[in-house]
Amino acid sequence: MKLEHIGIAVKSLETSDQLFSRLLGKDFYKQESVEREGVKTSFYKVGESKIELLEAQNNESAIAKYLDKNREGVHHLAFGVENILEEIKRLENAGFQFISKEPKVGADNKLVVFLHPKTTNGVLVEICQEKN
């Protein structure tokens, strides 16, 4: 398992892209919309990990709901694994609960699942695997 990316909820992707480009000294390497989740994302490479900026595309998206209750900032930590199904079993056996145990297609060509924050000290944790 490795730190794959840190997800940051933002109100304006355009404004935040300008900020992170200045901060990191480089532009995002990828932008994409995940229609099913109602988000638009920008990705920045930082060493061996990434930063994912997430902007809500509609009021029903998880990011819009998050920003209604919280300020902009860290939304989740994502850990990359080789076999997401085996990792789900391992984590479930270790007592962790999932928001959903069924992997779904996320941004950046990944299969993803999320652990429930009530079992991870209040931190939303994403487990992800490269899609084949």
The secondary structure element, H or E, covering residue 55 is strand 49-56
Kindly indicate the confidence band of residue 101, based on its pLDDT and cuts at 50, 70 and 90.
Answer: confident
For 49-89, the pLDDT digits (tens) are 999 999 999 999 999 999 999 999 999 999 999 999 999 99
Token pair belonging to 102: 């069924």
CATH code assigned at 82: 3.10.180.10
Residue type, 113: V
- Domain limits at 97? 2-130
Q: How many structural domains comprise the chain?
A: 1
Kindly indicate the confidence band of residue 132, based on its pLDDT and cuts at 50, 70 and 90.
Answer: confident
For 104-118, the pLDDT digits (tens) are 999 988 999 999 999
Torsion of CA 83, 85, 91, 94, to 10 degrees: -110
- Averaged pLDDT, 18-36: 96
pLDDT for the residue numbered 50: 97
pTM of the model: 0.92
